Structure 1
């Protein structure tokens, strides 16, 4: 997976938007204004993804490319190094998980708006 594929997949999620709220190299993906993924456009490709606390620990134990979330709440965020050690499909599943966790926490009104997109 490269940065274009990562970006395209994140933006394919209903209601997903992108912006640069922190600096000119940190690309952030949000749904209804809530962050579900972020990546830095400089250096080796990695992506920060939201995760349940239990799954976050499990993934870190199972995959050397999964680290505690860089500059994030390490209980709820992982940094995934996109280094070829896990499949693109697996990364897409982790993006789906992150997106789903954020959508679950949206208000019923926002969830309803999202379902119409």
Structure 2
């Protein structure tokens, strides 16, 4: 997945919005004002030349976060985030699309689970109607 397809997928989530509270270089994705992802272009310097990849921060269960880091070289502790609860997914083409979508879905649901029961019901109704 590239940054455009990731953005499109993030925006399919019920009540998803995007803003740039940290400046124009970081897109912040929220569900009902609660952050579930960020997307930004990283300009990390390699030894010989610059390496530019989009970085996707996603909330994650702590045990799963570590497991994903062990499985995928392109998953690292959350950059500028709580490293126990967030992962950074480097969009370098090495992780299958379905796996990135699954990680996005999990991040979204983890955030929704912390909301009030009425907000959860509203969001889940939208999810269910989208699946039909």
TM-score (norm: length of structure 1):
0.94
Q: From the CA coordinates, give the structure whose radius of gyration is larger.
A: 2
Runs of 4+ residues deviating >4 angstroms? none
Equivalent residue pairs, number: 117
3-state DSSP class of the match of 1:45?
strand
Stretches of structure 1 that go unaligned for 5 or more consecutive residues are none
Stretches of structure 2 that go unaligned for 5 or more consecutive residues are 43-51, 127-132
Q: 1:109 aligns with which of 110, 118, 123?
A: 118
Q: When you count strand as a share of all residues, which structure comes out higher?
A: 2
Q: Alpha-carbon deviations, 1:28-70, whole Å to 9, x = none?
A: 1000110001011464111000000000011111111000000
Query: How far off its partner does 1:116 sit?
Result: 4.6
Question: Where in structure 2 are the equivalents of 1:33-112 lying within 5 Å?
Answer: 33-41=33-41, 43-112=52-121
Residue 21 (structure 2) aligns with: 21
RMSD: 1.2
